[in-house]
Structure 1
Amino acid sequence: MSFHTIIIVGNLGRDPEMRYTPNGNAVTSLNVASNRVYTDTNGQRVKETTWFRVSVWGKQAENANNYLQKGSMVLIEGELRPDRETGNPRTFTRNDGTTGASYEVFARNVRFLSSRSGTGGQEGGFDDGPEMNDEDIPF
């Protein structure tokens, strides 16, 4: 038996999208941006964003759809799923021609870190997240 877990803290890049499977199970898709800020060897501040495609199931899917919105900060605990064809993250070409990757995560637990009335915020000392528009989201 093998087991792994991934924990992500980030902001939603767009509103949640909920649908139902043919047998009636709720599933909500979240696009989550997680930021890393560091200083490079030239002393320049660099902000790096990693995108995750998160699938949330059942009652948690319904709650995520009802209470989250673009910009909401979340903590996701789940399982990383590779691309079925390659075994790697999904790659894509950005508008500026550079290559990026997105990662598929099946959520086991979703925690809402933003207040219901607000989005983002500095709760827990985390970065507010990137300024996003729909062109920034790779999927």
Structure 2
Amino acid sequence: MNSLKNSVRLVGNLGMDPEIKTFDTNKKLAKLSLATSESYKNDKGEKITDTQWHNLVLWGAQAKIAEDVLKKGDEIVVEGRINNRSYLDKDGNKKYTSEIVVNEFLKVSSRN
């Protein structure tokens, strides 16, 4: 039950190709954006689509696989945990961000 305390599963489409960073130790980091959408009808019967964007972070072997097989527009399923952190921007201002640290992903379909 401990693994359910900070767990998230999302299905959506990639908004970008993986952005890859390789460190001195050859450890890889992949960053992606994922769009999830929900549709509903408003009071006038019009279809409304609400799209949320999520920042994904993949490390190590998962990052390497993402680099090799994922492209913008692909539909994927991810399982991971939410990580909230802060950082200083180039002007020294403190910024806050939330990201999904991906444990596993599955490519459902390609854009093409």
- Name the TM-score class by shorter chain: 0.7 to 0.9
In structure 2, the partner of 1:11 is 13
Tell me, in whole angstroms, the C-alpha distance in 2 between the residues paired with 1:110 and 1:68.
10
Q: 1:45 to 1:56 in 2, by over 3 A?
A: same
Normalised to the residue count of structure 1, the TM-score between the two structures is: 0.66
Tell me, in whole angstroms, the C-alpha distance in 2 between the residues paired with 1:50 and 1:112.
19
Tell me, in whole angstroms, the C-alpha distance in 2 between the residues paired with 1:28 and 1:44.
38
Tell me, in whole angstroms, the C-alpha distance in 2 between the residues paired with 1:79 and 1:21.
23
Figure out how many residues of one structure are paired with residues of the other and give that number: 102
Q: How does 1:1-139 map to 2 (within 5 A)?
A: 3-84=5-86, 90=97, 103-114=98-109, 118-119=110-111
- Structure 2: any 5+ residue segments left out of the alignment? 88-95
The alpha carbon displacement at 1:57 in A equals 1.0
The alpha carbon displacement at 1:34 in A equals 0.6
How many percent identity over aligned positions?
26
Normalised to the residue count of structure 2, the TM-score between the two structures is: 0.80
- Structure 1: any 5+ residue segments left out of the alignment? 91-102, 121-139
Q: Give the secondary-structure state (helix, strand or coil) at the position aligned to 1:71.
A: coil
Counting strand residues as a fraction of each chain, which structure ranks higher? 2
Q: Give the secondary-structure state (helix, strand or coil) at the position aligned to 2:86.
A: coil
In structure 1, the partner of 2:93 is none
Tell me, in whole angstroms, the C-alpha distance in 1 between the residues paired with 2:31 and 2:44.
39
In structure 2, the partner of 1:134 is none
Tell me, in whole angstroms, the C-alpha distance in 1 between the residues paired with 2:41 and 2:51.
15
What is the letter of the counterpart of residue 25 of structure 1?
K
